Amino acid sequence: MAHTSFPTDLPVPKDDGACAHLLNRTLPSLSLPATSGTQTDLSTLSGLTILFCYPRTGAPNEVVPDSWNAIPGARGCTPQACSFRDAIAPLKKLGVDNVFGMSTQDTAYQAEAKDRLHLPYELLSDESCAFVERLGLPTFEWEGKRVCKRLSMAVLDGKVVKVWYPVFPPDSNAQIVVEWLETEYKHR
């Protein structure tokens, strides 16, 4: 099955409260490698940043195993990333200064996905899980690797002002952020 389509019987993730502590939290000062070859410290960015976290993107021609599909919320990283790609113009128009995707995959792996998917924003690698641990982001283990559960955050001047968790279906993530920007955020 292609990475951009979903089986109809995917298990829906439930809100287990694992992100309840994030609202109004200041991001830790930590530089993460970006697909641009630079380091990014999200805590130092001015303005509104949208950070979406995802477990892992699949490689070209990789067959998505049933074990991955069985994990609630695991499937859909490529559609989530593409939803932000496709919504970049409205996001910018609504005042978003930065968009980043983040996973625990290495930068080289992420760079291939960024190029292949034509993503107009950087992907950040937290391969060591330092950012995940310092912020207390929810994770799960898969095939011996620790991966981040799917979530997204609006961060204003280094402080979390909105959290979306769980995110399902993943391909709706950017539209949900756009709707929040149009309705709730514009009244700040």
Q: For 153-170, how does the pLDDT look when each residue is reduced to its tens digit (9 = 90+)?
A: 999 999 999 999 999 999
pTM: 0.94
- Tens digit of each residue's pLDDT (9 = 90 or more) over 74-131: 999 999 999 999 999 999 999 999 999 999 999 999 999 999 999 999 999 999 999 9
CA–CA gap between residue 144 and residue 35 (Å, rounded)? 24
Task: Check if the beta carbon of residue 101 is closer than 8 Å to that of residue 54.
Answer: yes
Q: What is the mean pLDDT of the chain?
A: 94
Domain 31-187 = CATH 3.40.50.620: no
Q: Do you know the residue count of the chain? A: 188
Task: Check if the beta carbon of residue 53 is closer than 8 Å to that of residue 150.
Answer: yes
pLDDT at 1: 36
Span 70-77, average pLDDT: 92
The DSSP bridge pattern shows strands 96-103 and 122-125 to be: parallel
CA–CA gap between residue 77 and residue 148 (Å, rounded)? 11
Comparison of pLDDT for 60 and 132, the residue scoring more: 132
